[in-house]
Chains A and B, each alone.
Chain A
């Protein structure tokens, strides 16, 4: 049961259709994707195409599978024992399950629900990804760290305390630090798992503005509980319910003229 109500959805390419060039405006695509935690099925035949250079929001009530779906895209589910996907997920036409996982995660970055800076200095947090991926020489490191912090609109606030612990700054700043850390390795896709759920409204507004300005840099997929957040910032929105993708469309369409009754009920606050 694959819902494809989006005008973005294309005729599915079969395995034989490998000759068909991968469309440039699609960054990632899941097709017929099931997911199991042990014997419990958490996702049912998800089909979704993530548009390149856009913000896509995933909304839905708690436990609907949106975070699970997100964690498949960079294979982060592998840290959970007995978790198992079935189906197809492609990144630029390549099967992510046959890619090297370290390589995949460098291309598909992730920002987590709670800020999770490393117990290191602010500078070393940003430098971490650059160092382990050999992306900076001793000479260019400081420059690249500054660039990443500027992108995350954090530079002016921390430039005088780069060598202080990352735990010394506020929660909102820590989350922007984590975004800067993810951006430093120049990912093609950035997955954000409810990045503002632990933050106050002012810090949330800052992050939303930041993400909006980052659209040109990478494709973004954001899981959110906050419908205003999706409505304000996202170009596309997908609605998950009980492990199924109910509807996927341009954000304006989802919020103004939802095609499905469940979507309408959820966004008008009748449940969830």
Chain B
């Protein structure tokens, strides 16, 4: 065997091992986090965590029922803002946009995606909290909603672009208008990608504490209305994790696990609904 071919074989093995190691590292970090969370969170998780309100320092027990519901309400509000804007913005970029304006919108969207979440919080604080003169669910939902928009826009755009032109032309050839074609042929064909994108955006904002700190604030009790402060899992995790009490640390782990589970359930559920819809259409 010549030196050259031996060198080639060695390089091949080295590079193969290197890429394999890096892949393994990525996966193991993820599983390490998941395992750690499941271990510590699982230990502290009990039925009371889902049904009881937090208790004052010193007392043991209690739960985060208000924060779980609070996160749900905040995400609902966020979707009401993020999904329509994200969806229709994505449709515009993919189907109707001209060259210059689309470039501008796409660029702005990417910038918006890069805005630190704490800045989004300040924005919502200035626009909603200051005029209302107090923290509110509304303000928190809006901050999260605005953060969803760029992700939803870009994933919707990408999914719509992946639908082949011949499908659109098929509808045009039957006398369908542009909008009709988009709504009845292109969007259904891209539904799987669109739902995945929305879920991705939702998962991204579900774990945000920073924009909620001075918008939704927090609440030790049930929130008394949409215009009142509300507890949320990420903020609870933040508050409990930096506290000095072991019991609170355990609760923070449990909250982390619940948050992760909620995102996972929403994700799998969303995909399941879409694939069932497709399966139904396939008969």
Contacts and interface: CB of A to CB of B under 8 A. Distances in A.
Nearest to B99: A81
A105 B283 contact: no
A182 B174 contact: yes
B242 to A, nearest CB: 50
Contacts of A206: none
Contact of A112 (B169, B177, B184): B169
Interface in B155-181: 164-177, 180
Contacts of B171: 118, 128
Interface string B164-208: 111111111111110010001100110000000000000000000
Contact of A132 (B165, B166, B180, B278): B180
B282 interface: yes
A61 interface: no
Given A119-B188, A163-B283, A185 B172 contact: no
B281 interface: yes
Report, nearest first, the 5 A-B pairs whose CB atoms are least far apart. A106-B175, A129-B174, A164-B283, A165-B282, A110-B173
Contacts of A112: 166, 169-170, 173
Nearest to B177: A102
Contact of A182 (B167, B173, B185, B189): B173
Nearest to B167: A116
B166 A114 contact: yes
Contacts of A163: 283
Contacts of B167: 116, 118-119
Contacts of B172: 76, 79, 105
A121 B189 CA distance: 12
Of A132, A161, A168, which is in contact with the most chain B CB atoms at under 10 Å from its CB?
A: A132
B170 A133 contact: no
A118 B173 CA distance: 13
A116 B175 contact: no
Contacts of B177: 102
A118 B163 CA distance: 11
Given A128-B174, A165-B282, A119 B180 contact: no
A178 B169 contact: no
B189 A116 contact: no
**Interface of chain A, helix or strand or loop or mixed?**
mixed
Given A79-B169, A119-B188, A132-B180, A185 B282 contact: no
A74 interface: yes
Given A102-B177, A132-B176, 12 more contacts: A103-B175, A105-B172, A112-B169, A119-B188, A121-B281, A128-B171, A128-B184, A161-B283, A164-B283, A165-B283, A185-B174, A185-B175
Of A105, A178, A182, which is in contact with the most chain B CB atoms at under 10 Å from its CB?
A: A105
A116 B166 contact: yes
Nearest to A161: B283
A51 interface: no
Nearest to B279: A165
A36 interface: no
Contact of B175 (A76, A105, A164): A105
Contacts of B281: 119-121, 165
B283 A168 contact: yes
Contacts of B168: 79
A110 B282 contact: no
A102 B180 CA distance: 11
A181 B169 CA distance: 13
Interface size for chain B: under 10, 10 to 19, 20 to 34, or 35 or more residues?
Answer: 20 to 34
B282 A118 contact: no
Nearest to A101: B172
Nearest to A167: B282
Interface string A68-83: 0000001010010000
B170 A132 contact: no
Contacts of A167: 282
B165 A79 contact: yes
Contacts of B170: 112, 116-118, 178, 181
A79 B188 CA distance: 20
Interface string A168-202: 10000000001001100100000000000000000
A105 B173 contact: yes
Contact of A109 (B174, B184, B278, B283): B174
Contacts of A120: 188, 281
A116 B165 CA distance: 10
A64 to B, nearest CB: 21
Contacts of A181: 170, 174
Of A119, A161, A164, which is in contact with the most chain B CB atoms at under 10 Å from its CB?
A: A119
Nearest to A106: B175
A157 to B, nearest CB: 15
Nearest to A118: B185
Interface in A104-139: 105-106, 109-110, 112, 114, 116-121, 128-129, 132-133
A236 B174 CA distance: 26
Contacts of A103: 175
Given A102-B175, A110-B173, A132 B184 contact: yes
Contacts of B174: 105-106, 109, 128-129, 132-133, 181-182, 185
